[in-house]
Amino acid sequence: MEIKENYSLKKHNTFGVDVKAKLFCEAQNEEELWELYSNSKYDGIPKYVIGGGSNILFTQDYDGLIIKNNLKGKKIISEDENSVLIKVAAGEVWDNFVKYCVDNNYYGIENLSLIPGNVGAAPIQNIGAYGVEIKNVFNSLSGINLDKKEFEELGKAGCKFGYRDSIFKNEYRGKFIVTSVVLRLSKIKDLHLEYPSLKSSLQNIPQENITSRMVRKRVIAIRKSKLPDPKFLGNAGSFFKNPVVDYSKIEEIQKDYPDLPFYKFEDESYKIPAGWLIERCGWKGKRIGNVGCYEKQALIIVNYGGAEGKEILQFTNDIGISVKSKFDIELVSEVNII
Whole-angstrom distance, CA of residue 233 vs CA of residue 249:
35
Structural element, H or E, at residue 84: strand 83-89
Among the listed residues 238, 280, 308, 333, the single catalytic one is: 238
* Cβ burial 304-318 (10 Å sphere, 16+ → b, else e): eeebbbebbbebbee
334 is catalytic: yes
DSSP string, 290-335: TEEE-SS-TTEEEE-SS--HHHHHHHHHHHHHHHHHHH-----BSS
Q: 187, 178 in Cβ contact below 8 A? A: no
Whole-angstrom distance, CA of residue 38 vs CA of residue 23:
17
- 163: Cβ contacts below 8 Å, ≥ 6 apart: 126, 128, 241, 244, 265
Q: Are strands 62-69 and 20-27 parallel, antiparallel or unpaired?
A: parallel
How far apart are the two ends of the chain, measured CA to CA in Å?
24
Among the listed residues 164, 216, 218, 280, the single catalytic one is: 164
164 is catalytic: yes
CB atoms under 10 Å from CB of 220, counted, come to: 15
238 is catalytic: yes
Give the residue numbers annotated as catalytic, written as ranges: 164, 238, 334
